Amino acid sequence: MELNQKELEALVSLLDDTDMEVKTHVRDRIISLGSDIIPFLEQKWESSFNPDIQKEIEDLVHDLQFSVLKERLEDWKNSEDQDLLTGLWILNTYQYPDIEFEKLHAEMHQIYFEVWTAFKNGLMPYEQVKAINGALFRNLRFSANSKNFHSPANSMLSAVLESRKGNPITLCTIYYLVAQKLGLPIYGVNLPNLFVLVYKSADSNFYINAFNKGLIFSRKDIMNYLDHLKIEPKEAYFEPCTHLDILKRSLRNLAHSFEKLGEVDKVKEIQVLQEILEN
């Protein structure tokens, strides 16, 4: 049942009620109204001078936005193509709920255009990768965020596009999305402790480390890396992974970032999102 303006006002005014039973009932009633109530709540937050009610409104808005995120993620997991940019946008709305998909799409298209203009006809695979490397890491100045490696912003595509600094998986996904649009056989590879790319065609098979400015390396280098970590080689460490794998890895990184910051509630929420992708 929808509520009119007066009834909504009355509900919000009860958010700082000292009776926990009343407050819980009010919260549940507001949550049941769904995300359409968010603009009204934001308006009430701006006009309120009561810090307790403001805090309650902030928590309510977050819970409503998180519900929307969960629904979107469930829909994405069940979609046929599991479009990567859409998945990254959904993840991005955890920290930046107001960001529009169209904004990310437009920014990624601009990066693709910058890389495309650096391409010439007839380039060999290594030359193609060097052209992408030059455009992304020299011209556009994308680089590894080594100083704040565990910052949650490193897992947020919008933040990485703005700062030009990211972690291995966000830099690789930007690289991958551009390469796919160029029609190149470049894919993500899920290595332990590191996310890389593979150029995999009938004639060429080599690896790219976007976290190290597009460094090219070989299967033997991966064998040495695994040996150094004392990890048994698996075929999955050498082969392309799925978009679902990429999103799962991004969520693991985000959970780890919040653990480092001691943000226990956020770690729990990310675990809820991980369960959606696992089930």
Cβ atoms within 10 Å, residue 148: 13
Structure token digits, residue 153: 């912003």
Q: Give the pLDDT of residue 62.
A: 87
- pLDDT of res. 69: 96
Which pLDDT score, from 0 to 100, does residue 1 have? 46
What is the CA 40 to chain-centroid distance, rounded? Answer: 28
pLDDT of residue 52: 78
3-state SS assignment for residue 63: helix
Which are the contacts of 239, defined by CB distance < 8 A and separation ≥ 6?
189, 198
Residues 119-169 pLDDT 10s: 888 899 999 999 999 999 999 999 999 888 889 999 999 999 999 999 999
pLDDT of the residue at 16: 65
Distance CA(177)–CA(111), nearest Å, equals: 10
Output the CA torsion 211→212→216→220 (10° steps): -80
Q: What local confidence, expressed as pLDDT, does residue 101 receive?
A: 97
- State the DSSP H helix or E strand holding residue 195, giving kind and residue range, or none if neither: strand 194-200
User: In 3D, which of 147, 151, 137 has the Cα closest to residue 211?
Assistant: 137
Q: How far is CA 41 from CA 56, 188, 267, 270, in A?
A: 10, 41, 26, 24
Q: Which residue has the tokens 């991980």?
A: 274
Q: What is the pLDDT of residues 16-33, one digit of tens each?
A: 666 677 677 777 777 777
Q: Show me where the domains of the chain are located.
A: 5-78, 85-278
81: tokens are 């193509």
Return the ∠ at Cα 117 (arms to 111 and 118), rounded to 5°.
95
Question: What's residue 63's pLDDT?
Answer: 86
Successive 10-residue mean pLDDT values, the chain, 279 residues: 64 66 73 77 77 80 91 97 97 95 97 92 92 96 90 95 96 97 96 95 95 96 95 94 97 95 96 95
Residue 241's contacts (CB-CB under 8 Å, 6 or more residues apart) are 187, 188, 189, 190
Q: Which helix H or strand E contains 240, and what residues bound it?
A: none
Query: What pLDDT is stored for residue 184 in this prediction?
Result: 96
Pair of tokens at residue 121? 């006809």
> Using CA atoms, how far apart are residues 36 and 24, in angstroms rounded to an integer?
20
**Per-residue pLDDT at 10:** 65
DSSP track, 81-146: S--HHHHHHHHHTTT-TT--HHHHHHHHHHHHHHHHTT--TT--HHHHHHHHHIIIIIIS--EE--
